A and B are shown apart, each in its own frame.
Chain A
Amino acid sequence: DAMVIQNPRYQVTQFGKPVTLSCSQTLNHNVMYWYQQKSSQAPKLLFHYYDKDFNNEADTPDNFQSRRPNTSFCFLDIRSPGLGDAAMYLCATSRVTSGRLDPYEQYFGPGTRLTVT
């Protein structure tokens, strides 16, 4: 089945120790997104890739970076995790075509729950 996969599902890291979360998709969607979601809050968009073009949200901290080596994979790097970065990190994908009028739904992976000790 076509899907969005995230690894690992649970990640524990130490304060200040770099960590990388990964996302892969078999949907062949051209846009990939990274969200941060804390308990009882809305998912917050960190950045997205439209094909190879990286788009950062204005309020995303510099501590967060991303890489997309190919269509299928996208990585979230947290350079120096702080206690406030503990959250669920969600990867999503969407197929965006120029001129399309239908709404662009997004499909989510199961998320990686990050704990910072």
Chain B
Amino acid sequence: RKEVEQDPGPFNVPEGATVAFNCTYSNSASQSFFWYRQDCRKEPKLLMSVYSSGNEDGRFTAQLNRASQYISLLIRDSKLSDSATYLCVVNSMDSSYKLIFGSGTRLLVRP
């Protein structure tokens, strides 16, 4: 079983739609969770950290479910510029500062 699993997509949605991605992780002791965004042929960029209580940043909402070991990302009012790959990231079993990346979920927002 992979340490971090994501649906590769692509999710193809119209502008203005709400879209949600889930990600599951295998290490129940994980403490750090992130969503990164990666544009085609570019580097990953931190979108948001995911906290136990859930957190929101504008149109983006992240949730953590420790019991089921998954995290989610909700994007409201999708923009064309949201088209990218979204990487789910969890800290490694052997270190709090080493990160394990999922393969990403690809989002395509169409006009």
A residues lining the B interface (CB < 8 Å): 31, 33, 40-43, 45, 48, 50, 88, 90, 94, 96, 103-111, 113
B43 engages A90 (CB within 8 Å)? yes
Residues of A within 8 A of B100 (CB): 42
| Among B33, B44, B46, contact of A90 (Cβ-Cβ < 8 Å) | B44
B98 engages A48 (CB within 8 Å)? yes
Residues of B within 8 A of A88 (CB): 41
A61 to B110, CA, bound (A): 41
Residue from B91, B101, B102, B104 having most chain A Cβ neighbours under 10 A: B101
**Would A103 and B49 be within 8 Å (CB), given that A42-B101, A42-B104, A45-B98 are in contact?**
yes
B103 engages A113 (CB within 8 Å)? no
Q: Which residue of B lies closest to A41 (CB)?
A: B103
B87 engages A42 (CB within 8 Å)? yes
Q: Which residue of B lies closest to A57 (CB)?
A: B98
A40 to B41, CA, bound (A): 10
Residues of A within 8 A of B49 (CB): 103, 105
The contact sample of 19 A-B pairs, CB cut-off 8 A, is: A33-B98, A40-B8, A40-B103, A40-B104, A42-B87, A42-B104, A43-B44, A43-B87, A43-B101, A88-B41, A90-B44, A103-B34, A104-B97, A105-B49, A108-B44, A108-B45, A109-B43, A110-B42, A111-B43
